[in-house]
Amino acid sequence: MNDFAGIRALVTGGASGIGRATADLLADRGAQVAVLDLDPSGVDKPLLAFRADVTDDASVRAAVTDAADALGGLDVLVNNAGIGAQGTVEDNDDEEWRRVFDVNVLGLVRTARAALPHLRSSSHAAIVNTCSVAATAGLPQRALYSASKGAVYSLTLAMAADHVREGIRVTCVNPGTVDTPWVGRLLDAAPDPAAERAALQARQPTGRLVTAAEVAGAIAYLASPLSGATTGTALAVDGGMQGL
């Protein structure tokens, strides 16, 4: 399949997990792809790699400008960089709240702000945000993380409304638990990793974790002209977690 030929894409958090699977899939399907990441050292050709911290506005601006220059413009932005947090509202202090919102919410805003002038010049511009089932389901022990992804969901709707007349579509994917290095770290830190994995699998009616490739496929669909009539909405990739 070469349906992304001529498309120039930037994927934040593209060095690992969902972001890496997305960057690889878009490149396999013919796109020119740049990755923006805190640590892009493991990213290799044909992907272009740019080091930036989404909590640092200057580094985001520089990386987005460099990526757009290297690609000759931008058609697709995948806002995927994110971090997790566990606990109830009693467990996370103000500093943790600021840190997670700085990455998951403001990070997305900074990247979008830097990318929008480039996307406006594209004839098929799309922004796809990696949100989460946590945005719309009440999950225990995820108060801070859920709130940050709730903001990502609201931003998806607001940005879709703001930019629809400019021809820029804005959507998000809402994954359930995805088998990525992030979840690997979560399991490693659990007292009984096997029991924790079984509990995460049991949360999803399909009885298994989502794969990064499955989320990448949904992002690719939302970034492609096949979803040209779709904006301001979320696509669940959660093993039936919310719908069933």
Q: Nearer to ligand NAI by C-beta: 78 or 125? A: 78
Q: Nearer to ligand NAI by C-beta: 11 or 119? A: 11
Q: x-or-dash pattern for ligand NAI, window 145-184, by CB under 6 A?
A: ------------------------------x-xx-xxxx-
Name the residue with tokens 């830190």: 189
Bond from prior residue into 46 cis (ω within 30 degrees of 0): yes
Of residues 22, 32, 80, 204, which one binds ligand NAI by CB under 6 A?
80
* Alpha helices (runs of H) in the chain, residue ranges in sequence order: 17-28, 57-71, 94-101, 107-119, 143-163, 181-189, 193-203, 212-223
Catalytic status, residue 145: yes
Size of the residue set binding ligand NAI (CB under 6 A): 27
**24-53: which residues touch ligand NAI (CB under 6 A)?**
37-39, 53
Of residues 17, 67, 197, 239, which one binds ligand NAI by CB under 6 A?
17
Closest CA relative to residue 10, chosen from 75, 83, 58:
75
Tally of helices (H runs) and strands (E runs) in the chain: 8, 9
Q: How far is the CB of 227 from ligand NAI (least distance, A)?
A: 19
**92-131: which residues touch ligand NAI (CB under 6 A)?**
103, 107, 130
- The tokens describing 178, both together, are 């995805």
**184-243: which residues touch ligand NAI (CB under 6 A)?**
none
How far apart (Å, rounded) are the C-alpha atoms in residues 55 and 12?
12
The catalytic residue among 12, 145, 172, 176 is: 145
Does the footprint of ligand NAI cover residue 132 (CB under 6 A)? Answer: yes
Cβ pair 210, 175 in contact under 8 A: yes
Active site residues: 145
